[in-house]
């Protein structure tokens, strides 16, 4: 994870401690969760998706002229992968970050391109090979 993400997680853990949210939970051998409920249990995926759906609905109601598309934890995973790839992250490192067994999963399922991304790459290559 990036240093900025690490700092944000450390700050969130501090806030949880101030609020009395201590997590002793262990799930599949993992513990010390950052995203915990008031009773110290890690958030279930349906709770996260419900939060994102409520946020999406509230935003779209307040901004009908520029709505955002459907959000879910899995969609954010795809978005994160695409942003890291667009920033030029090495594909094998990105595969490791995503936890994929094969880089083809990372590239063909999670990494999405766009016209703007393709145009940017063409311009970059043009600058490299332009005589």
Whether the Cβ atoms of residue 36 and residue 21 lie closer than 8 Å to each other: yes
Instruction: Pick from 9-13, 85-89, 105-109 the range whose average pLDDT is largest.
Output: 9-13
Task: Give the model confidence (pLDDT) of 19-31 as tens digits.
Answer: 888 888 899 998 8
Q: How many CB atoms are located within 10 Å of the residue 32 CB?
A: 11
81 exposure class (CB count in 10 Å sphere: 0-12, 13-18, 19+): buried
Residue 113 gets which letter from DSSP?
-
Q: What is the pLDDT of residue 70?
A: 93
The rounded distance, in Å, linking the Cα atoms of 5 and 11 is 10
Q: Spell out the residues 6+ positions from residue 59 whose beta carbon is closer than 8 angstroms to its own.
A: 67, 68
The rounded distance, in Å, linking the Cα atoms of 103 and 54 is 34
The pair of structure tokens assigned to 111 is: 């990494």
Whether the Cβ atoms of residue 9 and residue 34 lie closer than 8 Å to each other: yes
Q: What is the pLDDT of residue 93?
A: 94
């Amino acid at each position: 994870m990036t240093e900025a993400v690490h700092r944000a997680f450390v700050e969130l853990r501090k806030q949880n401690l101030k609020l009395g949210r201590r997590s002793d939970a262990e799930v599949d051998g993992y513990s010390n969760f950052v995203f915990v409920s008031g009773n110290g249990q890690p958030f279930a995926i349906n709770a996260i998706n419900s939060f994102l759906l409520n946020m999406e609905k509230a935003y779209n109601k307040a901004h009908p002229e520029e709505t955002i598309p459907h959000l879910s934890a899995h969609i954010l995973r795809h978005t994160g992968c695409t942003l890291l790839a667009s920033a030029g992250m090495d594909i094998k490192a990105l595969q490791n970050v995503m936890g994929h067994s094969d880089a083809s999963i990372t590239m063909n399922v999670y990494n999405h391109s766009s016209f703007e991304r393709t145009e940017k790459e063409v311009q970059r290559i043009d600058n490299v090979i332009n005589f």
